[in-house]
């Protein structure tokens, strides 16, 4: 009976997880599209990432398949690296330009 879904999970239908992660993802997406502060944009990206993570974990639990959860570990590791690099860039830009407005990134255009 190891492959059975634990009781606690059965209490909440899978649809809720899907809905929640979709909502989170769309929130992140809209945030990335419309917000001007780079820090906020960055946070929105994190929200999107974690929405996907949530989706993966829940689906993996419901189908009793470990693949999804393994994938999440990868995502988190990559996200951590990305945050490190991304924040460093933001800090450097702030130091030079005293602004965290996303429009300053226009200057990176070739």
Partner 1 sequence: MNSEFLIHLILWAPLVGFAINGIFGSSFSGKTAGFIACLGPLTGFVSTVLLWSGFDQTIQINYYRWFGTPDSFSVDFSVMVDQLTLLMLFIVTGVGTLIHLYSVGYMEHDKGFVRFMSYLNLFIFSMLLLVMGSNLVMLFAGWEGVGLCSFLLIGFWYKNPDYNKAARKAFVMNRIGDLGFMLGIFLLGLEFRTLDIPTLLSSMEHIESGDPKIILITILLFIGVTGKSAQIPLFTWLPDAMAGPTPVSALIHAATMVTAGIYLVARMSGLFNLAPFTLDVIAWVGLATAFVAATIALRQNDIKKVLAYSTVSQLGFMAVALGCAAYSTAIFHVMTHAFFKALLFLGAGSVIHGLHGEQDISKMGGLRNAMKSTHLVFLIGTLAIAGVPPLAGFFSKDEILAAAFSHSIWYFVILALTAVLTAWYMFRLYFATFHGSYRGSKETEAGIHESGLVMLAPLFVLAFLSVVGGFAGMPETISSKHLVSDFLKPVVADHAHSVSHSFEYILWGVTLVLLVLIVWLTNKMYSVNSAEVFRSGSGWVGRILEGKYYLDEIYETLISGPLRSTGTWFKNVMDPGVIDQAVKLPGLVFRNAGVALRPLQSGIISWYMISIVLGLLAMIYLFLF
Binding-site size for partner 1 (CB under 8 A) equals: 13
- Judged by beta carbon, residue 48 or residue 61, the one nearer partner 1 is 48
* Interface positions, 35-54, toward partner 1 (CB under 8 A): 41
- Judged by beta carbon, residue 29 or residue 43, the one nearer partner 1 is 29
**d(Cα 34, Cα 37) in Å, to the nearest integer?**
9
> Least distance (Å) from partner 1 to the CB of residue 45?
10
Among 18, 27, 32, 43, indicate the residue that binds partner 1 (CB under 8 A).
32
Q: Is 97 in the site for partner 1 (CB under 8 A)?
A: no
CB within 8 A of 28, min separation 6: which ones? 44, 45, 46, 47, 48, 49, 51
> Least distance (Å) from partner 1 to the CB of residue 42?
12
Is residue 98 left, alpha or beta, with left meaning phi > 0 and alpha meaning psi from -120 to 50?
A: left
Q: Is 85 in the site for partner 1 (CB under 8 A)?
A: no
How many CB atoms lie under 10 A from the CB of residue 33? 9
Alpha helix (H) residue ranges in 1-110 = 7-10, 14-34, 38-62, 67-97
> Least distance (Å) from partner 1 to the CB of residue 97?
14
């Amino acid at each position: 009976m190891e492959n059975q879904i634990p009781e606690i999970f059965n209490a909440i239908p899978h649809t809720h997880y899907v809905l929640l992660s979709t909502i989170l993802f769309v929130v992140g997406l809209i945030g990335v599209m419309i917000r001007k502060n780079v820090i906020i944009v960055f946070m929105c990206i994190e929200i999107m990432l974690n929405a996907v993570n949530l989706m993966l974990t829940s689906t993996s639990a419901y189908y009793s398949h470990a693949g999804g959860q393994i994938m999440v570990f990868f995502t988190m590791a990559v996200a951590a690296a990305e945050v490190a690099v991304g924040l460093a860039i933001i800090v450097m830009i702030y130091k030079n330009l005293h602004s965290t407005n996303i429009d300053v990134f226009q200057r990176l255009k070739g």
